[in-house]
Amino acid sequence: MVIVMRPNTQKKEIEKIRRKMESLGCSIHASQGESFYLLGLVGDTSKIDPDQIKANRNVEKLIFVQEPYKKVNRLFQPLDSVISVRDQSVGGKKLAIMAGPCSVESEEQIITIAEQIKESGASFLRGGAFKPRTSPYSFQGLKEDGLELLKLAREKTGLPIVTELMSAEYVEKFVEDVDVIQIGARNMQNFDLLKEVGKTNIPILLKRGMSATIEELLMAAEYIMSEGNEKVILCERGVRTFEQYTRNTLDLSAIPVIKKLSHLPVIVDPSHAGGLWWLVEPLAKAAIAVGADGLMIEVHNDPANAKCDGQQSITPERFKSLMDTLKAIANIENREL
Amino acid sequence: MVIVMRPNTQKKEIEKIRRKMESLGCSIHASQGESFYLLGLVGDTSKIDPDQIKANRNVEKLIFVQEPYKKVNRLFQPLDSVISVRDQSVGGKKLAIMAGPCSVESEEQIITIAEQIKESGASFLRGGAFKPRTSPYSFQGLKEDGLELLKLAREKTGLPIVTELMSAEYVEKFVEDVDVIQIGARNMQNFDLLKEVGKTNIPILLKRGMSATIEELLMAAEYIMSEGNEKVILCERGVRTFEQYTRNTLDLSAIPVIKKLSHLPVIVDPSHAGGLWWLVEPLAKAAIAVGADGLMIEVHNDPANAKCDGQQSITPERFKSLMDTLKAIANIENREL
Amino acid sequence: MVIVMRPNTQKKEIEKIRRKMESLGCSIHASQGESFYLLGLVGDTSKIDPDQIKANRNVEKLIFVQEPYKKVNRLFQPLDSVISVRDQSVGGKKLAIMAGPCSVESEEQIITIAEQIKESGASFLRGGAFKPRTSPYSFQGLKEDGLELLKLAREKTGLPIVTELMSAEYVEKFVEDVDVIQIGARNMQNFDLLKEVGKTNIPILLKRGMSATIEELLMAAEYIMSEGNEKVILCERGVRTFEQYTRNTLDLSAIPVIKKLSHLPVIVDPSHAGGLWWLVEPLAKAAIAVGADGLMIEVHNDPANAKCDGQQSITPERFKSLMDTLKAIANIENREL
Amino acid sequence: MVIVMRPNTQKKEIEKIRRKMESLGCSIHASQGESFYLLGLVGDTSKIDPDQIKANRNVEKLIFVQEPYKKVNRLFQPLDSVISVRDQSVGGKKLAIMAGPCSVESEEQIITIAEQIKESGASFLRGGAFKPRTSPYSFQGLKEDGLELLKLAREKTGLPIVTELMSAEYVEKFVEDVDVIQIGARNMQNFDLLKEVGKTNIPILLKRGMSATIEELLMAAEYIMSEGNEKVILCERGVRTFEQYTRNTLDLSAIPVIKKLSHLPVIVDPSHAGGLWWLVEPLAKAAIAVGADGLMIEVHNDPANAKCDGQQSITPERFKSLMDTLKAIANIENREL
């Protein structure tokens, strides 16, 4: 951390800050630049609250050298994390493909789709039981009944199930019922929820918020890990920009960047990113080519009558042919599907 | 709602959609344009889920004529809503000035500040007890103890208290203890929380999410109102953009736009918008000039030692002189402070 | 085009607009919705200036059904355009790989690099002679001398040359000297420059502006084509967002979207997008997987001493190995390199 | 400037960079942090090209302490610049109000409007002769004839004229004919044009690009000033964000920020920012309250028939009443109109 003092700050004010930092356990390297006086902090700066330094009216700016996260930081854990889920895993050589409908609608629907995607090579079943919707008048999911249907589908196919948790109230139930708890983009900074799932020991799929920086996504993962749960899977699903043709702008650069900064696995959701079914295939291929550890894809057997997100769901047939292409791309990168 | 069909869609496919729409109670005005076939829906389109229409592969795009919100819509309630809070109100001729520290730190701190801001003319006391922080290692607020201190300050000064609720778990306690429940920017689309506060009858201060459109803010208010609670106060606090000098970019255009679209009162938070104490005063003045119904301002008696947000807090002395200027601007607009 | 009238607009005002539209050659389909009165315009709306309609105070909003561009529109030219450049082409089965240094620095430098990239399979040589730089104090390029060196390199290798034109003053010289004129992101809406290159018959590489929507990029291409030059190659190079880790956010969704909306070829520049050399390879692979018609890559034989953009240039050795991987991905998509 | 080396960089590599920096005239303060090795550069760093440092593969990141601009920097010129234009000025106690139509359409139109705005207290006449339009099929302005009409209007009213220059080709003509040359948002980084107007000695009104940071705006001003022309007036006119209700998002925080960083005067254009006539008045008031040195407002005597931007133009009558309110707000801030 480097503190830049305002020009013409009095010596005694600089002395005050210097002593305060030293009292917090840091040693100081001071240097007088052309126009600014700098205080470089050496030592464990993790106990220092940057807000408090910036609050000092003599401080021009504060410059961070080290990233603010620890447990997610690759610097302190150089090897890739691999998260085991039943007999599957996320983060290793094999890519994790999570597929299924936006929302669970009926026993027949979820079992049919589960069987189809399994046959095509998917390793996880996704499906919403509790649905976050922009409008209070839209379908909100089958809730507990949806969870039961997901369990039935798991029984039939053996596929581990991934579904979104929206409220701390249901944490215990989810821990019992599901294999991976998804935290949606809108709740990425619902810190109370992050802490609650951090106290469980079940894998958490954490989606990047629509306007979250990569650093904020990693800090949200840090919230979960700091409570003890180290099984975190990250997911890029598009960020909000000025471009309106697509629902969001998929940020594929985030994949190699996250891989550099963190040891956690990261997958891509091409369905929510573009919001258009015909974008799912090209974006899925690009995601594998860029180095993602897996995908989350919306598949529906009757998109035109889906209760939600039909416009961004692909059919089981298209999913099957997509999987073949993905396999070929994965092989080039020495990975498996 | 206008449905635009893809070029070369077969007649029978168009017929199918037409019949489906009619079965949902709409009448159809069809017209063949130069390249596209259009279906205009007339009638109550509120039961129609736009996702389902867009899911149809023959639909090129869907165009909305009417806004998707009802209870917040000025079209259906032309008069300004005025929200009463104890002996104060938000939305009428008198501007509502909410001031206080980022977080409650001690009895002495909160009471001193409350008395000072009251003397300067503030009408509400704000102060955080539960704090959403980007880092799990930062100060998270005094929690229940903070609420108790806020109540003490209210007793001393008579100022109604405004504080942030982060989790549904505490709704009942907040209903008992506080006068206005704040929903923070990061929870603007925490739909479960919105529904919970929608079931209370206490005023809700709803902050715009960092990347929420004005329409999404109004839809979030609709969530609260659709559960029965009509006492919603909106708050603009800056949106996320590419500009990094300021923490967020305050969107003052949103004030007249919201006033046009909705009858709900709307205030501005200049402290969080800029994130810099020396921006608070010019932005507060601009907010009143643009027509806001009030302000939420962070005031701290010792910013350099504040437990959070010291860099964006102003001192009680500056607050006092700011209030004088604000009064003069308010008078020009025929409003009071 | 659909005109939505404000609620309670007087009949005579509606009549006025209707007659005005009819006088411009459109026929009108009117319909009275729940709250709004709609006027649907049928016929050639291209002569209607939308600004003038929106300027009418009784108009609530204006809704576009048809895209505003014509010559770039796939609707009117369903087949992919293939742009020939000497013995190469852009837009067909074979991918166009343009590689070379950010700026031409010396005869030895440009010829060495040109020979190396040619050997690895590049089909075009890129290199800046006139450089747009954020700071007036940075290296501005070798200018005319740079053009001469590019021509020497072309002579040696046979590779067609691509270089940026920044000012109308040099159009004639570029037409004589170079094979593809590049219009940079910052000049995408320099309409005078677009018109000037539109009057030539040399291929134009048009880069997407940092904050340009896909529609605006296509409108900029329309500027060039409307002057008679139909040889336009589009280039996605990242857009500006709130994310600061990367220089820009590469928008790969734009590739399939542009392919749907337009018949023009589109390539990707992974070097400028991320601004970091270690992002070039994963993003290049993703670009081919998503369906781009080619790439523009910065290659430098001594990045640490490059006069510009060394941080985002890769070495000829890495370029060679990247080309092998790209070839494999291209083959999966039934394309060649 | 602080150079952060990658962890585990070899000593000899660090030594190499250190010597290179010293050879460029800097002295170095090195310090070994917890994980990173830092090199602080002291001295005149203006000759160092940051790109070249970042290009070094052993450099983790580069941190800037000092702003990259000089001539626009308030650090080196603490007093506010006041730009004189005929008998008017921009930047002093008196606010500069520039008003007039989007484009000059006829002698009668421009003279009528000029007389009306003068009577209401405007001090400059704005009007477009050369118009940048998104579509090549829209009205492009009266060009040279437009300039002649502006001169006529100046003769009649004495108001200095402000109009946009789009191409270096017309610089000389503009120097002869107009009083302030406007560089539009789309040309803010048309560096060749900036250099050309930098060689004149006529005041330049430089508009912020749609996606330009404040720093980039100041760097564009630096381009003009570095060529010798110190008469630069900055203009905030809204930036591009995800919000689509307004054309752009007016960034009023930029005003106090620019005032802190630079000595140059800065005005606000509320017409282009919102793109809606009913937003002009509230935003104009906010702009004065926030501390702008003036305004640029589109006024048209018949907006519904304006050749461009009618939807964001206000009538002379509204302009007159707005001026009265602006005067009252200006007085509170101890400024005049």
* pLDDT one-digit tens code per residue, B180-224: 999 999 999 999 999 999 999 999 999 999 999 999 999 999 999
Do A36 and D4 make contact, defined as CB atoms within 8 angstroms?
no
pLDDT at C292 over 80: yes
Alpha carbon C168 to chain centroid, angstroms: 18
Q: Is B124 left (phi over 0), alpha (psi -120 to 50) or beta?
A: beta
According to the model, what pLDDT value does residue B62 have? 87
Residue showing tokens 């506060």: B197
**Mind listing the domains of chain D with CATH numbers?**
2-63 (3.30.70.1140), 83-332 (3.20.20.70)
In whole angstroms, give the CA distance from residue C149 to residue C143.
Answer: 10
According to the model, what pLDDT value does residue C69 have? 93
The DSSP bridge partners found for residue A322 are none
A43 touches chain D (CB under 8 A): yes
Q: Pick the residue of B6, B9, B103, B186 with the most A CBs within 10 A to test the interface with A by mutation.
A: B186
B65 touches chain C (CB under 8 A): yes
pLDDT at B52 over 90: no
In whole angstroms, give the CA distance from residue C125 to residue C123.
Answer: 7
Average pLDDT, chain C: 94
Minimum CA–CA partner of B241 in chain D: D241
According to the model, what pLDDT value does residue C253 have? 98
CB-CB neighbors (< 8 A) of D271 in chain C: none
Strands D232-236, D204-207: pairing is parallel
According to the model, what pLDDT value does residue A8 have? 86
User: Closest Cα of chain D to A33: distance in Å?
Assistant: 5
Query: Which residue among C253, C285, C332 places its CB closest to the CB of A279?
Result: C253
According to the model, what pLDDT value does residue D218 have? 98
In whole angstroms, give the CA distance from residue D5 to residue D3.
Answer: 6
CB-CB neighbors (< 8 A) of D57 in chain C: 277, 303-304
Q: Tell me the pLDDT tens digit for each residue of A193-234.
A: 999 999 999 999 999 999 999 999 999 999 999 999 999 999
Average pLDDT over residues B277-292: 98
Do C250 and A252 make contact, defined as CB atoms within 8 angstroms?
yes
Return the partners of chain D (3 or more C-beta pairs < 8 Å). Answer: A, B, C
Which residues in chain C (245-284) have CB-CB distances under 8 A to chain D?
277
Do D34 and A40 make contact, defined as CB atoms within 8 angstroms?
no
CB-CB neighbors (< 8 A) of B44 in chain C: 34
Residues listed for chain C: 337
- On whether the CB atoms of residues A210 and A246 are closer than 8 A, the answer is no
Residue showing tokens 């100041």: D218
Q: Which of B308, B314, B319 lies closest to B129, judged by CA?
A: B308
pLDDT at A21 over 90: no
In whole angstroms, give the CA distance from residue B101 to residue B148.
Answer: 15
Do A290 and C285 make contact, defined as CB atoms within 8 angstroms?
yes
Counting residues of chain D whose pLDDT is more than 90, the rounded percentage is 76
Please state the ipTM of this predicted complex.
0.94
Query: Which residue among C246, C249, C285 places its CB closest to the CB of A289?
Result: C285
In whole angstroms, give the CA distance from residue A317 to residue A299.
Answer: 9
**Cβ neighbours of residue B169 closer than 8 Å, sequence gap 6 or more:** A168, A169, A192
B305 touches chain A (CB under 8 A): yes
Helices (H) and strands (E) in chain B, counts: 11, 14
B223 touches chain A (CB under 8 A): yes
Degrees, nearest 5: CA angle D247-B257-B322 = 105
Helices (H) and strands (E) in chain D, counts: 11, 14
Question: Which segments within chain D are labelled E, that is strand?
Answer: 2-5, 27-32, 37-42, 59-63, 83-85, 88-90, 96-100, 124-126, 161-164, 180-183, 204-207, 232-236, 266-268, 294-298
B241 touches chain C (CB under 8 A): yes
Residue C100: enclosing H or E segment and its boundaries? strand C96-100
Minimum CA–CA partner of B277 in chain A: A55
Query: Which residue among C55, C166, C305 places its CB closest to the CB of D304?
Result: C55
Do A282 and C256 make contact, defined as CB atoms within 8 angstroms?
yes
Do C31 and B42 make contact, defined as CB atoms within 8 angstroms?
yes
Average pLDDT over residues C240-256: 97
According to the model, what pLDDT value does residue B40 have? 85
Alpha carbon A150 to chain centroid, angstroms: 22
Average pLDDT over residues D20-31: 86
Minimum CA–CA partner of B27 in chain C: C33
In whole angstroms, give the CA distance from residue B42 to residue B2.
Answer: 9
Query: Which residue among D45, D63, D75 places its CB closest to the CB of A2?
Result: D63
Question: Which segments within A15-145 are labelled E, that is strand?
Answer: 27-32, 37-42, 59-63, 83-85, 88-90, 96-100, 124-126
Compute the Cα dihedral for D211, D215, D217, D222 and give only its sign: negative
Average pLDDT over residues B89-113: 97
CB-CB neighbors (< 8 A) of C186 in chain D: 189-191
Average pLDDT over residues D192-210: 97
Return the partners of chain A (3 or more C-beta pairs < 8 Å). Answer: B, C, D
**Cβ neighbours of residue C175 closer than 8 Å, sequence gap 6 or more:** C181, C200, C202
Average pLDDT, chain D: 94
Residue C83's identity, in one-letter code, is I
Q: Is C22 helix (H, G, I), strand (E, B) or coil?
A: helix
According to the model, what pLDDT value does residue A182 have? 98
Residue showing tokens 């929380």: B193
Q: Pick the residue of C250, C253, C262 with the most A CBs within 10 A to test the interface with A by mutation.
A: C253
According to the model, what pLDDT value does residue B26 have? 84
Strands A96-100, A124-126: pairing is parallel
Q: Tell me the pLDDT tens digit for each residue of D80-123.
A: 999 999 999 999 999 999 999 999 999 999 999 999 999 999 99
pLDDT at C33 over 80: no
User: Closest Cα of chain D to C337: distance in Å?
Assistant: 29
Among B29-33, B81-85, D28-32, the range with the most confident prediction by mean pLDDT is B81-85
- On whether the CB atoms of residues A300 and A318 are closer than 8 A, the answer is no
Q: Tell me the pLDDT tens digit for each residue of D99-111.
A: 999 999 999 999 9
CB-CB neighbors (< 8 A) of B237 in chain D: none
CB half-sphere exposure, A227, CA atoms < 13 A: 23
Q: Tell me the pLDDT tens digit for each residue of A297-332.
A: 999 999 988 888 889 999 999 999 999 999 999 999
Query: Which residue among C34, C42, C65 places its CB closest to the CB of B42?
Result: C34
The DSSP bridge partners found for residue D38 are D4, D31
Do D249 and B257 make contact, defined as CB atoms within 8 angstroms?
no
Residue D332: enclosing H or E segment and its boundaries? helix D316-332
Among B307-316, C64-73, C107-116, the range with the most confident prediction by mean pLDDT is C107-116
pLDDT at C10 over 80: yes
Quickly state the pLDDT bin for B30 (edges 50, 70, 90). confident
Q: Please tell me which residue, B299 or D24, carries the higher pLDDT value.
A: B299
Strands D294-298, C204-207: pairing is unpaired
**CB neighbourhood size of A19 (10 A):** 11
In whole angstroms, give the CA distance from residue C129 to residue C152.
Answer: 13
Do D55 and C305 make contact, defined as CB atoms within 8 angstroms?
yes
User: Closest Cα of chain C to A239: distance in Å?
Assistant: 9
Sequential DSSP letters for D167-195:
-GGGHHHHHHH-SEEEE-GGGTT-HHHHH
CA distances (Å), origin D117, targets C56, D113, D125, D177, D324: 22, 6, 8, 21, 12
Do A134 and B219 make contact, defined as CB atoms within 8 angstroms?
yes
- On whether the CB atoms of residues D236 and D252 are closer than 8 A, the answer is yes
**CB neighbourhood size of A271 (10 A):** 29
Return the partners of chain B (3 or more C-beta pairs < 8 Å). Answer: A, C, D
Strands, sheet with A2-5, edge to edge from the N-terminal-most edge strand: A27-32, A37-42, A2-5, A59-63
pLDDT at A250 over 90: yes
Which residues in chain D (70-109) have CB-CB distances under 8 A to chain A?
75
DSSP state at residue A242: S
Residues listed for chain B: 337
Residue showing tokens 């650090």: D75
Alpha carbon D320 to chain centroid, angstroms: 26
In whole angstroms, give the CA distance from residue A116 to residue A318.
Answer: 11
Q: Pick the residue of C1, C2, C210 with the most B CBs within 10 A to test the interface with B by mutation.
A: C2
Average pLDDT over residues A260-278: 96
Spell out the SS3 assignment of A68-84: CCCCCECCCCCCCCCEE
Counting residues of chain D whose pLDDT is more than 70, the rounded percentage is 100
In whole angstroms, give the CA distance from residue D261 to residue D46.
Answer: 18
Q: Pick the residue of B1, B133, B189, B272 with the most A CBs within 10 A to test the interface with A by mutation.
A: B189
**CB neighbourhood size of D47 (10 A):** 10
Quickly state the pLDDT bin for C206 (edges 50, 70, 90). very high
CB-CB neighbors (< 8 A) of D32 in chain A: 42
User: Closest Cα of chain D to B158: distance in Å?
Assistant: 31
According to the model, what pLDDT value does residue C81 have? 98
Query: Which residue among D34, D241, D244 places its CB closest to the CB of A66?
Result: D34
